[in-house]
Amino acid sequence: MSASMLYCGKVYISGARNKPALESIERAAKMFPDTAIVNKFDDETYNRVCYTLVSKSTDSLKNAVFSMFNAAYEAVDFDQHSGTHPRLGVVDHVCFHPLGSTSVQQVALIARALAKDVGSILKVPCYTYGAAHKDQRLLDAVRRELGYFKPNVTGQQWSGGLESEVLPLEPDEGPTQVVKAKGVVVIGASGWVVNYNAPVFCKDIGVVRRIARRVSGRGGGLASVQSIALVHDDVIEVACNLVEPSLVGVDQVQGAVEQLGAEAGVTVGKGYFTDLSPDDIIQTYFKMISSGQ
């Protein structure tokens, strides 16, 4: 089969500890046979899960993701959520990426259609970014305005719903007030983004925050790299988004974290990916479709 026209969606949900909820969400996606969950990355410390879905049909992919939204809102109460990873809602973030010869503009149409449905039918405030937004605004810009990067309780935890029902930034779709049990969602479209986390064996969050900032393009480090320091069990991870992985790769990110760690007198471990590569995703999809999974 040709991989010339495939569409990918990553769905990030705030909840990795509630197994019955995840089973319900996964069943919802499997109602659409042209779409497959090709990867699942869940982390109980972060209390966050990412599903990578692929389809040869834009309608099937959009409907599968919408069905996951519906199941998630029924099974998860955002006001009761807590974890060491920042989040804005039960379904925190959805990003669509082109695979093969598919264009970013094509997946942007899926993102905008999904945002419209989630806002109008499920009554959840939706913010768009990247190619799905008229001004091509960046994901981290939306998150920054909504207070995403600031823990709201002690111990570097994000806990409960948004503090105010009145949103500081007007959503692109949906109501202007938020229901705490659901939160809000950010939906976008872009080229491929690599998620890579490097562990730092240090208990001082301030030290690792300085490393994370200096690694990032925003902090004068590697262009097109976004990074944040997150507590994860016995280490603190420098969690990175590589927005242009063909220009700045994981070897450069790993090397930068190690160099900055050495300057700060802390040990840095080998990082890890949270998803498959685009080629592996395509191969996995076709294997699943051919086997009827």
For the annotated catalytic residues, the residue numbers are: 85
Helix (H, G, I), strand (E, B) or coil at 293: coil
DSSP 8-state secondary structure symbol assigned to residue 166: B
Taking Cα atoms as reference points, which of 18, 44, 14, 41 lies closest to residue 161? 14
266, amino acid identity: V
Length, in residues, of the chain: 293
DSSP 8-state secondary structure symbol assigned to residue 258: H
List, in sequence order, the alpha helices (H) in 30-145. Answer: 58-75, 104-121, 139-145
Q: How far is CA 274 from CA 125, 193, 211, in A?
A: 27, 11, 21
E strand or H helix at 53: strand 48-55
Q: DSSP for 122-165, please give it.
A: S---EEEEETTSTT---HHHHHHHTTTTS-SBTTTBEESS-S-S
